[in-house]
């Protein structure tokens, strides 16, 4: 079972990875579609054959310059980061929901119990759940601490 701090790490890492991966992936996709060189637009929106040919030449040059070593490095990095995101997502989806701390449920008493009833139930359960009485149970110490916290809170 994961502790709260462990599960919080997975939620935090998946949010950080998402914040990094979305723009990084969009940058790679946009460079695949439009190339890496910004093509200037003419102020008059000229549609003449010379200007159209110049823009087409610049677009094809931009697409050719996309597939260099740095592009492949970025693709490998983004694939690795998406893989980490997937692993974190699997961890987050497999986490058990965080249990709420309800002292009355832990002490097995009604919510409107009197202080006298709370004390009586705590003493009864503390004798049953004390680690010295349950040496075979490895979780006896944690259960006893939880019981004591529930009594102190109620």
- DSSP run (H or E) holding 76: helix 69-94
Q: What average pLDDT does range 96-112 have in this prediction?
A: 80
Q: For the chain, what is the domain count?
A: 2
Question: Which tokens is 111 given?
Answer: 């919510």
pLDDT band at 85 (very low <50, low <70, confident <90, very high): very high
Residue 128: domain span: 103-153
Percent of the chain residues past pLDDT 90, beyond the cut: 25
Based on the fold, state whether residues 45 and 83 are members of the same structural domain.
Answer: yes
CB 30 within 8 A of CB 74: no
Q: pLDDT by residue (tens digit) across 29-56?
A: 887 777 665 656 555 567 788 877 877 7
**Domain check: are 41 and 86 in the same one?**
yes
Are 9 and 55 in a shared domain?
A: yes
Question: Which pLDDT score is estimated for 1?
Answer: 42
Q: Is a pLDDT exceeding 50 seen at residue 112?
A: yes
């Amino acid at each position: 079972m994961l502790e709260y701090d462990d599960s919080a790490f997975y939620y935090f890492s998946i949010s950080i990875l998402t914040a990094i991966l979305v723009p990084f992936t969009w940058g790679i996709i946009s460079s695949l579609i439009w190339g890496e060189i910004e093509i200037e637009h003419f102020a008059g929106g000229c549609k003449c054959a010379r200007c159209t040919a110049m823009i087409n030449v610049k677009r094809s040059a931009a697409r050719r310059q996309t597939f260099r070593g740095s592009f492949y490095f970025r693709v490998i990095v983004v694939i690795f980061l998406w893989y980490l995101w997937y692993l974190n997502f699997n961890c987050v989806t497999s986490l058990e929901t965080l249990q709420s701390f309800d002292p009355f449920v832990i002490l097995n008493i009604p919510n409107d119990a009197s202080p006298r009833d709370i004390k009586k139930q705590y003493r009864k359960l503390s004798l049953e759940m004390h680690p010295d009485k349950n040496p075979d149970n490895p979780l006896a110490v944690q259960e006893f601490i939880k019981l004591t916290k529930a009594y102190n809170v109620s």
